[in-house]
Amino acid sequence: MHIQILTVGKLKERYLVDGIAEYVKRLGPYAKMQMIEVPDEKAPENMSPAEEQQVRDREGARLLAALRPDVYVVALAIDGEMWTSEQLASSLDKLATYGRSQVAFVIGGSLGLSSELLRRADMRLSFGRMTLPHQLMRLVLVEQIYRAMRINRGEPYHK
């Protein structure tokens, strides 16, 4: 399986970089992982709704440009489906079984994902109704992908 994680902005926090690197290393026997970062837009605190939309659209265009046409796209969105780790594992297993072994998880910037990117997504996945920093979400996502791979192989990590 080939898994991409597409994100907005550069990850700077050392503890997150180290944590993600550890899980990517652990995923080596299970899947090929690729992390793609696209530049973020400046987003001052007091933007109008129209300015916020422009930021999402520009970031979304960059994310869309990084997606191959044949990739299965999972958009991380607060209004997406909430799954257990076992459901994520089952979904990844089914995708691989039915020839959809190219999967891209997309994490938006601080203002979320563009409507165009959400339309392109094959599914929306939520890790809960709470807002998490998009930088932290990268670590949580890669850990859950690793957990899913272990579950699919019947290995004991998911307890």
What the chain holds in terms of domains, given with CATH numbers, is 2-153 (3.40.1280.10)
132 assigned binding-site residue: yes
Q: What tokens were used for 115?
A: 């409507």
DSSP 156: G
Whole-angstrom Cα distance, residue 66 to residue 118?
A: 15
Per-residue pLDDT band at 129 (split at 50, 70, 90): confident
What is residue 158's predicted lDDT score, i.e. its pLDDT? Answer: 61
Task: Using the predicted structure, report yes or no on whether residue 99 has a pLDDT greater than 80.
Answer: yes
128 is in an annotated binding site: yes
**Local confidence band at 88 (pLDDT 50, 70, 90 cut-offs):** very high
Q: Tell me what the mean pLDDT of segment 45-57 comes to.
A: 93
The reply to whether 130 sits in an annotated binding site is: yes
Task: Decide: 64 and 92 in contact? Cβ < 8 Å.
Answer: no
131 is known to lie in a ligand binding site: yes
CA nearest neighbour of 108 among 81, 141, 82, 84: 141
Q: How confident is the model at residue 159 (pLDDT cuts 50, 70, 90)?
A: low
Q: Is 129 annotated to bind ligand?
A: yes
Is 76 marked as binding a ligand?
yes
Residue closest to 141 by CA, chosen among 98, 99, 80, 94: 80
Residue 156 has pLDDT above 90, yes or no: no
In angstroms, the CA 78 to CA 20 distance is 22
**Is 108 known to sit in a ligand binding site?**
yes
Q: What percent of the chain has pLDDT over 70?
A: 99
